[in-house]
Structure 1
């Protein structure tokens, strides 16, 4: 996961080829714009997203691929009534990555 504005926050642990990073970023931007209803910062290392459940298959696919290249992410899905809840957790050493992801999500949240 990266941003086109500041790729410096991508940790060395990320194995996604540099050329593929803008495409992955666009996938997350699409998820935020089309399905992100609410974002909550649970702790320094945990984000909680409430998503429109119609996007569940795509969200699981995207987060699964993201876990393959950035193994420090933990993505946990739960149903909460009519909402799909996704918790994104990182170790303390990668809080800056979670911070950047939270900023990106907040900028793209569905209105």
Structure 2
């Protein structure tokens, strides 16, 4: 009978220990990056915001974020810029405007994190 009580006590102690350890597990993040390119006749406006958001699964141990934006006019890169943030809550915003002397252009946008 004494052995049974010790076994139950050990199991309960183990369950308690594991449950308290889970409360201090590594924080996970995912990257949220809404991006926008608004093209018009003589130019384009572009913007992007990259944020590390706490989630139940994703990228672990985030110490910063860095975003790079590239804007192309008629297939030629006209903007290549980047920005980083290494202080919590890890958020980067990029935006700008491009203009052209000709009216008909094909604009595209690439954001890499």
TM over 0.5: no
- Which protein has the larger Cα radius of gyration, Structure 1 or Structure 2? 2
TM-score relative to the length of structure 2: 0.30
The structure where helix makes up a greater share of residues is 1
